[in-house]
Amino acid sequence: MSKKIAIFPGSFDPLTNGHVDILTRASRLFDEILVAVATNTSKQSLFTGDERVALAEAALKGMPKVRVVRHTGGLTVDMAKEVGAAALIRGVRNVKDFEYEESIAMMNRTQYPELESILIFSAPEYRFLSSSLIKEVATFEGDVSALLPPAVNTAVIAKLAEKNNKK
Ligand code: ADP
């Protein structure tokens, strides 16, 4: 049987325990999961694309089925086709995520109907967790260490200190 590959695209600015939880659970369903780190996002990012890839790699190195790659920058469906992915994974925390993800999934379906969108519900303890909230709290020196992989937590603290020194 051919290898079941899934793609998990996102900004991962930075990767949080919410993302790790989705990947842990997706690992039970797929043979390989590609974390596709997008760089051409409209969001203002804290970390560069290279930094986000390196951080995700450091945090996920214990997960044998997970591989971190750069998003090609084109359509995710085209990237999925290129890498032979059968599924596109996204995490859903709440109704707002659901509505957004539903429209993306429907649009992706018009482009590449063979690619199945798999929405995984967030674990209850991570429903409130987002990379943007992490950045907001960390900016004011809040402790977010319980919500991030250790390597990411260290990098967030260092990055914000570096930014503050430049001011
Ligand atoms: P994007 O900019 O594409 O939303 P993110 O890095 O914010 O990229 O999120 C990537 C994916 O991970 C999205 O599907 C998002 O809904 C999901 N996600 C983010 N945080 C969590 C969380 N705490 N629990 C579950 N899924 C999450």
Nearest CA to ligand 1 atom 15: 91
150 Cβ contact list (under 8 Å, min separation 6): none
Please confirm, yes or no, whether 93 is among the known catalytic residues: yes
Per-residue pLDDT tens over the stretch 57-104 = 999 999 999 999 999 899 999 999 999 999 999 999 999 999 999 999
Per-residue pLDDT tens over the stretch 6-61 = 999 999 999 999 999 999 999 999 999 999 999 865 668 999 999 999 999 999 99
pTM: 0.96
- Please identify which of the residues 19, 52, 71, 135 carries the catalytic annotation: 19
